[in-house]
């Protein structure tokens, strides 16, 4: 009997040591970051910056693979179904884990199907108008939208995107009269706003900042709690008495049930990358601010954002189903 118990104890110890060794050895092969948007956008650019820096510290290459489609649902479903070993990571963002699950049925649960690794960055949404719209401020815009004979359209990157939800939240909070026009992407939406086909837009910094700098559109405000260092001259809506703040956010997620030791390793490497001054500089060039933190912080953010956008969708009668 003593021999039997000793053998069982030895086998448990060996198994525990094997698991510990497996986790300690992570990673022993290349990793993949799945990006739910097409190449060339802000998500793609940030993912490639992180892949290079994190790969250096991990001692393994990190491949960036774009899986656009279905408002990010294709990429999310793919990662949610992947082996929970830390080798397949999702570059999630406000659309995949905040807005879209609030307005449509998606083939994944943004909370239970993923193990949060850490927040990556934040970026406030801008309020811009075509340069021929006769307004100089947000107050002017709201008043102008209500004038008889005036018909304003605001462009968005599509149904369920942050620019669309920002526009609806702005309308709810100010009473401004404008109709939303969804496009297949931020690029076409901005092109038509510059041309005057649409007159207003709530773009991300990545999309809007270059156009504001060049004078192609007029910047009126930022939708954040504090002014943006990129456009310190632009007020926040809250400064103007409008309680609207829409910040795009980004984070890394592993499939649910990924070992805690692996998540902790990835979180440390991610935070080390985000605290690198060169990475921070490159992110700033994309109009974003690096934002390190714990898996718990990202989990809380997802839950908070889901609740927020469900309320906005209900109030604005927005549903993509």
Q: Which helix (H) or strand (E) holds 2?
A: helix 2-24
Name which of 72-81, 179-188, 248-257, 267-276 the model is least confident about.
Answer: 179-188
Phi-psi domain of 59 (left: phi exceeds 0; alpha: psi -120 through 50; beta: other):
left
What confidence tier does 297 reach under pLDDT thresholds 50, 70, 90?
A: very high
Q: What is the DSSP letter of 71?
A: G
Angle between helices 2-24 and 260-274 (to 10 degrees): 20
Distance in angstroms (rounded) separating the CA atoms of residues 167 and 180: 7
Determine the pLDDT at residue 171. 93
pLDDT at position 20 over 80: no
Determine the pLDDT at residue 180. 94
Domains of the chain: 30-122+248-316 (3.40.190.150), 124-240 (3.40.190.10)
What confidence tier does 206 reach under pLDDT thresholds 50, 70, 90?
A: confident
Determine the pLDDT at residue 295. 97
pLDDT at position 263 over 70: yes
pLDDT at position 236 over 90: yes
pLDDT at position 98 over 60: yes
Determine the pLDDT at residue 17. 47
pLDDT at position 16 over 50: no
Q: Residues 62, 86: contact at Cβ < 8 Å?
A: no
Phi-psi domain of 40 (left: phi exceeds 0; alpha: psi -120 through 50; beta: other):
left
What confidence tier does 22 reach under pLDDT thresholds 50, 70, 90?
A: very low
Determine the pLDDT at residue 267. 98
Quote the pTM value.
0.83
- State pLDDT tens for residues 159-205: 878 888 899 999 999 999 999 999 888 889 999 999 999 999 999 88
- State pLDDT tens for residues 212-221: 999 999 999 9
CB atoms closer than 10 angstroms to residue 275: 11
pLDDT above 70 as % of the chain: 92
Determine the pLDDT at residue 159. 81
Mean pLDDT of the chain: 89
């Amino acid at each position: 009997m003593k021999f039997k118990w000793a053998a069982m104890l030895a086998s448990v110890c060996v198994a525990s040591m094997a698991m510990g060794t497996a986790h300690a050895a992570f990673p022993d092969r290349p990793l993949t970051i799945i990006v739910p948007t097409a190449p060339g956008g802000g998500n793609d650019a940030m993912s490639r910056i992180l892949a290079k820096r994190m790969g250096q510290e991990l001692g393994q290459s990190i491949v960036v693979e774009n899986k656009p489609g279905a408002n990010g649902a294709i990429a999310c479903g793919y990662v949610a179904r992947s082996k929970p070993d830390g080798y397949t990571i999702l570059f999630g963002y406000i659309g995949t884990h905040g807005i879209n699950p609030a307005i449509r049925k998606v083939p994944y649960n943004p909370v239970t199907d993923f193990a949060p690794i850490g927040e990556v960055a934040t970026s406030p949404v801008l309020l811009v108008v075509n340069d021929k719209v006769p307004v100089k401020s947000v107050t002017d815009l709201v008043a102008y939208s209500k004038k008889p004979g005036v018909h304003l359209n605001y462009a968005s990157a599509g149904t369920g995107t942050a620019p669309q939800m920002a526009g609806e939240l702005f309308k709810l909070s100010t009473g401004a009269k404008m109709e939303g026009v969804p496009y297949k992407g931020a690029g076409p939406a901005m092109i038509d706003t510059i041309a005057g086909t649409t007159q207003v837009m709530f773009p991300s910094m990545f999309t809007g900042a270059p156009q504001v700098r060049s004078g192609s559109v007029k910047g009126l405000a930022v939708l954040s709690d504090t002014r943006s260092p990129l456009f310190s001259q632009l007020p926040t809506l809250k400064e103007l008495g409008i309680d609207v703040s829409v910040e795009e956010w980004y984070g890394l997620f592993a499939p649910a049930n990924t070992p805690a030791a692996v998540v902790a390793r990835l979180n440390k490497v991610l935070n080390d990358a985000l605290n690198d001054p060169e990475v921070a500089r490159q992110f700033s060039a994309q109009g974003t601010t690096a934002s390190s933190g714990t898996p718990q912080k990202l989990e809380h953010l997802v839950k908070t954002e889901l609740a927020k956008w469900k309320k906005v969708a209900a109030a604005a009668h927005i549903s993509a189903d």
